[in-house]
Amino acid sequence: MSGEKLSEFKDKIEALKSWRDPDDEMLPSKEILKGLLRISTEAATCHSAYSHYTTVKAFKKIFGGKNGPSMRLSRLASVTLNDRNESDKYIRPELARQTFEGCFNHDGSECANLWWLYAKGSPNALRITFPARPFENWCAELRKQGADVADVLYAAVKGEKDDYAFNRRNTLSWEDQRIGVKDFHVLLGNPELAGRVKDYEWRAERETRIIVRKSTGDRFVYLPLPDWLIGEMRITTSPWVTDVDYERIKRIACDCLKERWKCTKNTFRPSVLERAMDALKRSR
């Protein structure tokens, strides 16, 4: 996030906090909802890059599938891993069935957590990165078509199964900011926040989402990727690739993307986390 945008972002958070009753430490849900939606939406265009972690198999489907180059959004009620827990906890079942999402890490650096989630020590994973300006131009077009683009808010809920520090209970967090909320479950049950909230322990993912709401029996929704966006894309290979794997995956990328993308040392490169992730793999 640029310094100017970060300063503006934090000013809006402080303004939101100032709405609170001086005799109460938490904000009433009716007042906070509009502010949270605005900040979540505006924050999504304040980052320097957007990265999608995926497997090599899924990469082939994204760029070589029958739908043409398309970002595949998954139905929230059908996904696995941490997002499945989110759909059970924060969204009404009927909304989870109608909510489709595509996830992007908005940290400019590689995310060790996401590498482990998608690769688990395998060479068959990739990080697809889009620079801010072309990605945000694409998102602006998607918004015109009715999609939401928003940063995820991370929830710490007070409850018998939660073990969060006292000052994080019943709060929503993003970046380094945190706000306490009254009527927490009422707030999270609001359809406008569906797909924008997940558990606090996943905050390291620093996630921006493209969200589409659609009544369909399909498990996925496909959003076409324009050639001008593909041309700006950078690809990073898994921290666990060998030289042979690296060349194999490069050929796969070139075969899928063809003339839409030029493979250079800047657009296709190895992970910088090789040694760190090897240590993580040995510890598991």
Which amino acid is present at 145?
Q
> Does pLDDT of 87 surpass 50?
yes
Q: Give the pLDDT score at 7.
A: 61
Per the CB < 8 A criterion, the answer to whether 225 and 70 are in contact is: yes
Quick count: other Cβ atoms within 10 Å of Cβ 209?
22
Q: Give the pLDDT score at 42.
A: 85
Q: Is 6 helix (H, G, I), strand (E, B) or coil?
A: helix
> Does pLDDT of 22 surpass 60?
no
CA distances 129 to 51, 125, 140, 197, Å, are: 4, 13, 18, 23
Q: What is the pLDDT confidence band of residue 91, given thresholds at 50, 70 and 90?
A: confident
Tell me the pLDDT tens digit for each residue of 157-171.
Answer: 765 455 555 556 777
> Does pLDDT of 156 surpass 70?
yes
Per the CB < 8 A criterion, the answer to whether 179 and 10 are in contact is: no
Average pLDDT over the chain reads: 81
Q: Which of 33-37, 188-192, 262-266 has the highest mean pLDDT?
A: 262-266
**How many whole angstroms separate alpha carbon 182 and alpha carbon 180?**
7
DSSP string, 114-142: HHHHHTTT-S-EEEEEEEHHHHHHHHHHH
Tell me the pLDDT tens digit for each residue of 189-200.
Answer: 678 888 888 888
Q: What is the pLDDT confidence band of residue 50, given thresholds at 50, 70 and 90?
A: very high
> Does pLDDT of 56 surpass 90?
yes
pTM of the model: 0.83
User: Quick one: how far is CA 136 from the chain centroid?
Assistant: 14
**How many whole angstroms separate alpha carbon 216 and alpha carbon 42?**
29
DSSP single-letter state for residue 152: P
> Does pLDDT of 116 surpass 60?
yes
Quick count: other Cβ atoms within 10 Å of Cβ 224?
12
Tell me the pLDDT tens digit for each residue of 96-110.
Answer: 888 899 999 998 889
* Residue predicted with more confidence, 111 or 274: 111
Find all residues with CB under 8 Å of 225, minimum gap 6, and list them.
62, 63, 69, 70, 71, 138
**How many whole angstroms separate alpha carbon 146 and alpha carbon 142?**
7
**How many whole angstroms separate alpha carbon 138 and alpha carbon 227?**
11
- What is the token pair recorded at 184? 């927490």
DSSP single-letter state for residue 239: T
Residue with tokens 């999270």, as numbered in its chain: 188
Q: Give the pLDDT score at 243.
A: 93
